[in-house]
Structure 1
Amino acid sequence: MIRKAFVMTVYPDKHEEYMNRHQEIWPEMIHELRKHGAKNYSIFLEKETNKLFGYVEIQDEKLWTNMAKTKINQKWWEFMAPIMKTNSDDSPVTVHLEEVFHMD
């Protein structure tokens, strides 16, 4: 199991919309995430800075990387682009964090 953590940014006036969209996440998106080895996936919002902290456990880096290429993931990115900082391909601007401590 590989632990991944990252930070993204939601627009200040879009906090509620971001939360709503994740409460109603598409079942086919969940299915594809699981198919690509994701489990124990959480996203937290720090309202004062508009920062989103994501954490996910994956089985394999290559399998996880392939998730970005799926049609459903591309559709999700397009759906989320109006409410968060994104790259030119609609993927979220993401800063990957280096793990410095872990305790089971």
Structure 2
Amino acid sequence: MTRVAFQLQVRPELLDEYLARHSPVWPEMLAEIAAAGRRNYSLFLGEGGTLTGYYETDDDAAAQAYLASSAVAARWEAEMARFFVDLDGRPDQAATALTEVFHLEDQLADTGDSPASDIDTRTDTEGSAS
């Protein structure tokens, strides 16, 4: 599985409209994202319109190719392109992936430790199981 994060800049004057366009996203676009093999997909909006996206996939090149050939994705991206600053091409194809520098589970696996969320045998201060 591959984790992909990317960053785009939303035009500050269009932030309200950008948010409205995602509440909700077209059902057919949601279906295309899922059919492309992207999952656990999230967008986070920061100060001044900095948008960070994250998703997981087994084959990002195949997912990008699928979406590049999708008529639904082409329509969605054509409508969304105007929201972004300094973007050359479709947002789903032109966003540059961020470099992952830390992932907790990977480093825990390298040390032989299990994530705390896998096994929770702790008790609270009153002795009941949590």
TM-score normalised over the length of structure 1: 0.87
Q: Which string of whole-angstrom CA distances, capped at 9 and with x for unpartnered residues, describes residues 12-60 of structure 1?
A: 1111111111112111111111111111100111123x21000001121
Specify which structure has the bigger relative contact order, considering alpha-carbon pairs within 8 angstroms and separated by 6 or more residues: 1
Give identity over the alignment, percent: 36
Aligned residues: 101
Paired residues for 1:92-103 under 5 Å? 92=91, 93-103=94-104
Does 1:32 pair with 2:19? no
Q: Distance in 2 between matches of 1:58 and 1:6?
A: 14
Distance 1:17 1:81 in 2: 13
Matches of 2:60 and 2:52 in 1, distance apart?
A: 19
Secondary structure of the structure 2 residue equivalent to 1:96: coil
Query: Structure 1 segments of 4 or more deviating over 2 A?
Result: none
State the Cα distance separating 1:5 from its structure 2 match. Answer: 0.3
Structure with higher Rg: it is 2
SS of the equivalent of 2:100 reads coil
- Judging by fraction of residues, say which structure has more strand: 1
Q: Which stretches in structure 1 are left out of the alignment for 5+ residues?
A: none
Segments of structure 2 that go 5 or more residues without pairing to the other structure are 106-130
